[in-house]
Structure 1
Amino acid sequence: MFSIVVTRQRVTMTQRKRLSNTQNTPQSRRQHGTLVAEEEDDDPTFTQPSSSQVQRGLERFTPAQVDQKTAEVVQYFLMKDQKKIPIRRAGLVKDVVKEYRNIYPEIMKRAERLFDQVFGLKLVEIDKKNHMYILINKLETVEGSSPINTPTSPKMGLLFVILSIIFMKGGVVRENLIWNTLKKLRVDPGEKHEEFGDVKRVVTDEFVRQRYLEYVRIPHTEPVEHEFHWGQRAEEEVSKAKILEFMGQLHEQDPQSWSQQYREAHSTPSSSQASTRSQQR
């Protein structure tokens, strides 16, 4: 199945780029049983300015200064988004906004408008509690498509296969099933892969940090076991309908024959996400 995903996209070796700066595995921590990347906590000294505070803050800067700071924020997002890792408000305020924090909402509003009108991107806050943002290709999602409808690299093909397994199994899959399936596709997580390197690290660390996957510890298991869920970014970017179409082609079956998955894939985005989340709890 994995070879079919890659072959369908006609990916050549010359088109494949390896991320040399992802060789070192960052430390990680657990939140409510979920393995997530170790990241800086939100700045406790920063609170969202009120409208009146923003208005007073704007009086301190010239329009050119505000435009310049907005451009710096946009550049920061574009640079960070190359690794597909969500951008935290804490890092954004600390590294870029700095002394302009009193007009943070205005800067973000302008940045959002620039992403929309100039770059065709949509700025999405995927975690309102921890204030984490991602960029989505707005032009593709408007047309009902998404960046992972048709994987453009072997690594995205690997992710597509894993997301397909999770979706077809009802939204939650034990890790052993993932590893056993990948072995059948000649991608052994216990061996170094020519294309992916350390497969287990890519799946449980890189894809988790990018919020494509959630890697959750199963309580009261000995030895310790984990399960995979779709991550927040996958919920925003990936079309379940396209996954079902792919599975139908692969098994030469009508996608509607999987009635539960078909209903979920063709429901509204909000109800689809709610359905997936309810299955995960």
Structure 2
Amino acid sequence: MRELQRILPSSKSNARSSQPNVGDSKSYILVSKLAHEVYEKYVVDVNSAHLSGFTFVIISIVYLAGGKIEEELLWSQMRRMGLSEDKVNHLVLGNIKQSLELLVQQRYLQKDKVNGPEGNTMYYELAERTLDGPINDKIKEYVAQIVKKDNISLAA
């Protein structure tokens, strides 16, 4: 088990730069020490592989956007994959909004509302579980392979 340092969204940490960028609550994750082959054979649940794929894709989109993305741009990218915010009965993922919210609850992402001249804008930002050293390194490695191979662009 490893403790993750809870972080504040970047807009809140910038506003309070004299305070540390750490919240009061604690988050923990379990880290497997099993060999990859053993983990794949005995731990990986093929029935939940779609959630792992969804998590990886969403985190990759946010990562490629610089670690923070406006909610509307994220939904725009998801719509390009056939995932819309009003889809409540997706064949594999079920309610898409709830699947995205689950990533926030699991601390892969965090949501932040920013007040601007045009009104409030919601952002998704990488959270501590994604920014954790080994996880972050794997994400960077996989994303780099995909981008290099397919020359992917986040243009809307």
Partner-residue secondary structure (3-state), 2:125: strand
CA distance in 2, matches of 1:130, 1:139: 29
Q: In structure 2, list runs of 5 or more residues that go unmatched.
A: 7-21, 35-47, 152-156
CA distance in 1, matches of 2:104, 2:111: 7
User: In the alignment, does 2:82 pair up with 1:182?
Assistant: no
Contact 2:4 2:129 in 1 (8 A): no
Q: Which of 239, 248, 264 is matched with 2:136 structurally?
A: 239
Aligned residue identity for 1:201: Q
Contact 2:110 2:125 in 1 (8 A): yes
When normalised by structure 2's length, the TM-score is 0.64
CA distance in 1, matches of 2:103, 2:142: 23
Q: Which of 157, 162, 165 is matched with 2:58 structurally?
A: 162
Aligned residue identity for 1:184: R
CA distance in 2, matches of 1:202, 1:250: 25
**1:219/1:154 CA distance change after superposition, 3 Å:** same
Contact 1:125 1:131 in 2 (8 A): no
Higher relative contact order (CA 8 A, sep 6+): 2
CA distance in 2, matches of 1:228, 1:207: 10
When normalised by structure 1's length, the TM-score is 0.38
Contact 2:108 2:126 in 1 (8 A): yes
Aligned CA RMSD, in angstroms, stands at 2.8
Aligned residue identity for 2:55: L
Q: CA deviation at 1:157?
A: 1.1
Q: Report what 2:5 is aligned to.
A: 126
Q: CA deviation at 1:166?
A: 1.2
**1:228/1:221 CA distance change after superposition, 3 Å:** farther
**1:129/1:217 CA distance change after superposition, 3 Å:** closer
Q: CA deviation at 1:216?
A: 0.7
Q: Report what 1:228 is aligned to.
A: 124
Partner-residue secondary structure (3-state), 1:186: coil
User: In the alignment, does 2:102 pair up with 1:206?
Assistant: yes
Q: Report what 1:43 is aligned to.
A: none
Partner-residue secondary structure (3-state), 1:134: strand
Aligned residue identity for 1:126: Q
Report how many aligned residue pairs link the two structures: 122
Q: Which of 91, 107, 122 is matched with 1:194 structurally?
A: 91
Aligned residue identity for 2:5: I
Q: CA deviation at 1:199?
A: 0.9
For each residue in 1:141-180, what CA deviation from the matched residue of structure 2 results, as whole angstroms up to 9, or x when unmatched?
xxxxxxxxxxx61112111111111111211111111111
Q: Which of the two has higher C-alpha Rg?
A: 1
Identity fraction in percent: 17
Q: In structure 1, list runs of 5 or more residues that go unmatched.
A: 1-121, 141-151, 255-281
Aligned residue identity for 1:124: E
Contact 1:179 1:189 in 2 (8 A): yes
**1:135/1:176 CA distance change after superposition, 3 Å:** same
